[in-house]
Chain A
Amino acid sequence: MKPGPFDYEAPASLTEAVRLLADQEREAKVLAGGQSLIPMLNMRLARPGLLVDITRVPELSGLYVDEAGHLHVGAAVRQAAAAAAPEVRAGWPLLAGAIAHIGHPQIRNRGTVCGSLVHHDPAAELPAASLALEARFTIVGPGGNRTVTAEDFFVSTFQTAVGPDEILTEVVFPPAPGDGWSFAEHVQRRGDFAAVGVAVALARRQNAMHRVRVVFCGAGPLPVRVPEAESALEGRPLDAEALEGATALAGAALDPPKDVHASAEWRREGAQTLLRQALTEAWERTA
């Protein structure tokens, strides 16, 4: 289990990184924390000819809140650093909460927020959280910059809107919908990828839910947002009826996959159990 041969560059500027990445004859690929990529290299499931390490590009290492109150997380920001950042904990606790479920601390110490998003394992936590938080993604390539919404960012399993010669330079989170949030998942072992998981974000106004976001991971090739459930909850308090209604809608909307860990049926049931738990927790957090 050793990687095949490749070359390595650690450019000191974004321009240089983009230039290196343009060398698609060598199948250049971005390397950040490497916690998803290097296992694939070791198993020779990925065979890039050139790795472009972007963690030494100064403009990618930022984590800050801009004047409009949006959180910017640069491509080189490690998951552990993001989860520990006071501005994240205060304003985007769902993001910190999702990160806490990623692998083990030893992985989060190196893995980056953007790396996990670009890798896009459908069972991963951050894609679901970023969709729930309506994140926007800044992508830089030979053609310049573009911004993509979370709806458009995730294309399919292990596929995103980021082209092979492009870099996700940062992910930007608008202010969270409200104080209500929860990230819950089913794992067999602590630290595993979620068999199924859910991110919930909501606000509470006059004892009613607003701006409800319900997004599942592990429930399909993409993070699955359930607008039916969201709108059923919108504008009402979280009582038993609301909970059961949303759970039923989510159950009907999901078409989860099966694998060695769980059947589709179990995932659907598990998603519903999690949703009950997560909505309750998110609602209680707003009290």
Chain B
Amino acid sequence: MSERVDHPPLTEPTAWRGVELVVNGRPLTAQVESRLLLSDFLRGRLRLTGTHVGCEHGVCGACTVLVDDVPVRSCLTLTVQCAGTHIRTIEGLTTAGKPLGAVQRAFHDNHGMQCGFCTPGFVMTCTALSEAAERPDEDHIADELSGHLCRCTGYRNIRAAVRQALDETHGKGQTE
């Protein structure tokens, strides 16, 4: 039995559609406007505000979430497109009361974050890398990281955090 998600009063003029999807392991049924971006569904309807919105045109990467285990831009995804998918956000990485997971801890250990706004996006992409069948090579890691903008850290510590996380999940890398 899936949980129903409340929606605001029906002042929205666009067509409403029912979607069933799983968010952080929770099966949900929701009525949403066709135009509702996944980022706004997660943040506004589900109050999962850990997913941040930085540019709404797919460049900054702050809104990155996992849809069926692959990182995608939630600002460039309509909620209705996600019917039948499993979505994971930063809130779903660790249960309340449990210690941080390897990826989260790596960002903490390496001071891989300052204002924390871009962090959830980096963490979700890094989570996908840590779950890959084998350790991605350096160029692949660089490619994935280039999909995220950070304005605070200068990236050095983010790279160190990703390295630590992947060392922990895949064993030490070939390089460095």
Contact = CB atoms under 8 A, between A and B. Distances in A.
B146 A104 contact: yes
Contacts, number: 103
A106 B78 contact: no
Interface residues of B, number: 33
B78 A8 contact: yes
Interface stretch (B57-65, B90-98, B157-165, B168-176): B57-65
Main SS at interface, chain B: mixed
B1 to A, nearest CB: 24
A107 B35 contact: no
Contacts of A35: 58, 73, 76
A189 B75 CA distance: 21
A235 B115 CA distance: 59
B112 interface: no
B143 interface: yes
B34 A51 contact: yes
Nearest to B55: A1
B52 to A, nearest CB: 14
A2 interface: yes
Nearest to B53: A1
Given A106-B64, A109-B72, A34 B81 contact: yes
B146 A189 contact: yes
Interface of A: 1-8, 10, 31, 34-35, 38-39, 41-43, 51, 53, 55, 80, 100, 103-107, 109-110, 189-191
19 contacts: A2-B35, A3-B35, A5-B33, A7-B34, A10-B80, A31-B81, A34-B76, A34-B77, A39-B76, A42-B57, A51-B78, A53-B80, A53-B81, A103-B147, A104-B143, A104-B147, A107-B73, A109-B72, A110-B67
